Structure 1
C-alpha cells in the first residue's frame, strides 16, 4: 500500500515427458490425477470492458500484488480493460503452502480466472511471475490471449545472482514500532545498502514490508521458498508450445535472460519478440517505469 509511495513465480502421472527443448526431460511429480490443489489467492480486480481481453499482472519472488497497483490503474484507465493483480501463494495475503512449484502456482491462477469468469487473458509476469505465466501459457494456451515475460528465462540460468541471500537480511529486521512509514523505509534503505547496492531492488523489497498490529513484518513465507529454491530456479520442463503473441522484456546486460537462451525460447514460444530496455536491471517496472508501460501499451495495441 504505502510502499508504492516510494515510486507514484502439466501435472499428471509420474511418466517422463520430452519437452520441446531438445534434451530436457521432466519427471512429473506424483500428485494424483487432478494435479496440484489450488489455494484461494488474494487479488484486486479493476473493472473494465467485457469485450476486451483482461490483463493479469503476476509479481516476482519476495513481492506481492501491490508492486503493480500503479501500472494496473494506468492500464485500466488507458485501455478500458479489466486488470487483475494477484498475490502468489506464499506471498502477501495469499495462503502459505509447502508446494512452491510453478505447476501449483499455475493451478492457483487457473482456479482464480475460472472463479472470476475471466476469458483469455493477457498475462504479464515478472521473474517468478513470468515463469508462472509461461507455465500457464504452455499448459492451457486457450486461457492466454498474449504473454509478456519480464526479465526471466524459462531455462535454468548459470551463474545466477544469489537472490536468496536476501532472506536472512529481511528476516533479521527489527524496526521500532514508533517509526512512521517514511522513517521505517529510510531505516531499511540504509540497512540494506551495504548488501543490496541496486536501489530499485531495495525499493522492490520495501513493497513486502507491512505493518501488522503495530509491528513491521516481511510478508513473505521465506521458509517454504528457501526449501524449494532449486525447484524455483530450475528450467520449466512443461510439455507444450504457446503460439500466441509473446513479448520478452529485458536489459541486454541482465543475467536473468541471456541472449544464448533465445533460440530455445523460440521453440516454446514461436511468435516471441525480444525487447531490450537499456539500463533497466532486473526490476524493470521500478527502474524504467515509463519505458516499461510504453512497451506494454504498444504490445497491446
Structure 2
C-alpha cells in the first residue's frame, strides 16, 4: 500500500501518525516547526482509510504497522523517530514493537496500550448524517453536525474530512463504512508480549483520562525505557490545546 504523506524539511526522519478520524493536515503547524527549527525531515502520514490514503475493507493495528514499515521501505527511511496520537499512538507502539530495528525513538500521545471500549458513536452518527446529506456548504455541514456534537473545536476537527466534489457538493475523505464496521479494532489493546526497548516518551493531557496512574506500571512492562510527561490543563488533543508546552516536551526528549 502507498500511503499519502506530506514531507517537510531535511534531516533525521520523524514520522507523525494522526488519531482516529484525523489526517496528516492536523499536524502541519508542529511538523513545520520541527523541520525548520530542529532539522528533522517530518513525514505527516495519512493512515489507511483516512485522508488521501487508500481505502480498504480492513482496518487493524497489524495492517497499519505493516503500512508504516512499507512506507519506510518505499522512502528508504531507517532509524526513524515515530510519534503517534491516540489511534496513531497505538499504531506507533505496535510498529516499534514489531520492527525495533526501524525505530530509534518512540513518542506516544495520550493513549495507553490497553483496551478501550468503543466511545465514538455520536461522532460516527454525525459523520453518517453528513455523508447521507447533499451538502452544498461547510456552514450547512457544521449546522448538521452541531445536532450531534456541541463542542465547536471537535466539529472543526471533524469537518477537515469534508472534500469538495467537482459539481460543488461535498463528500467525506474518511472511509466511514470500514471504520464503523471495524470500530472494535480501534479500541484493541497492544498484545502483552509486544515490547520496545528503545527510548520512549508517553505524553498525557492533564485533563484527559486516557492514561490513568494505574496504567503506568503496565506501560513500563512493555516499554522499559519510558519517560512520562503530563501537560497541565490539556485534554486528549494535547498537541492542539497546549502546542507550546507539547512542542517543548518532545524537543527536550529528542
Structure 2 residue ranges without an equivalent (≥5)? none
Q: 2:214 corresponds to which residue?
A: 260
Separation in structure 2 between the aligned mates of residue 97 and residue 203 of structure 1, nearest angstrom: 26
Aligned to 2:127: 170
Instruction: Say whether residues 1:43 and 2:5 are aligned partners.
Output: yes
- Cα distance in 1 for partners of 2:95, 2:192 equals 10
Q: Please tell me whether the aligned partners of residues 48 and 54 of structure 2 are also in contact (alpha carbons under 8 angstroms).
A: yes
Quick check: which has more Rg, 1 or 2? 1
SS at match of 1:41: coil
Partner SS, residue 249 of structure 1: strand
Give the match's secondary structure for 2:208: coil
Q: TM (normalized to structure 2)?
A: 0.92
- What's the offset of the Cα at 1:194? 5.2
- Provide Cα deviations, 1:35-68, integer angstroms capped at 9, x if missing partner: xxxx21111212313xxx3111100111111111
Per mean C-alpha deviation after superposition, the further-off stretch among 97-106 and 251-260 is 251-260
Whether 1:282 and 2:236 are equivalent positions in the alignment is yes
2:132 aligned with 1:152: no
Aligned position for 1:244: 198
Match of residue 139 from structure 1: 98
Separation (CA, whole Å) in 1 of partners of 2:150 and 2:203: 22
Alignment partner for residue 106 of structure 1, among 65, 68, 82? Answer: 65
Name the residue aligned to 1:216.
170
Tell me, in whole angstroms, the C-alpha distance in 2 between the residues paired with 1:167 and 1:41: 23
Separation in 1 of the partners of 2:209 and 2:147?
Answer: 21
Cα pair 1:201 1:283 within 8 Å, conserved: no
| Stretch moving more, 226-235 or 119-128 | 226-235
Pairs within 5 Å for 1:1-301: 39-49=1-11, 53-157=12-116, 160=117, 162-173=119-130, 174=133, 176-177=135-136, 179=137, 184=138, 186-193=139-146, 195-213=148-166, 214-237=168-191, 239-300=193-254
Query: Displacement of 1:207 after TM fit?
Result: 2.1
- Counterpart of 2:97 in 1: which secondary structure? helix
Q: Distance in 1 between matches of 2:27 and 2:153?
A: 14
Residues 126 and 150 in structure 1, CA contact (< 8 A), matched pair in contact too: yes
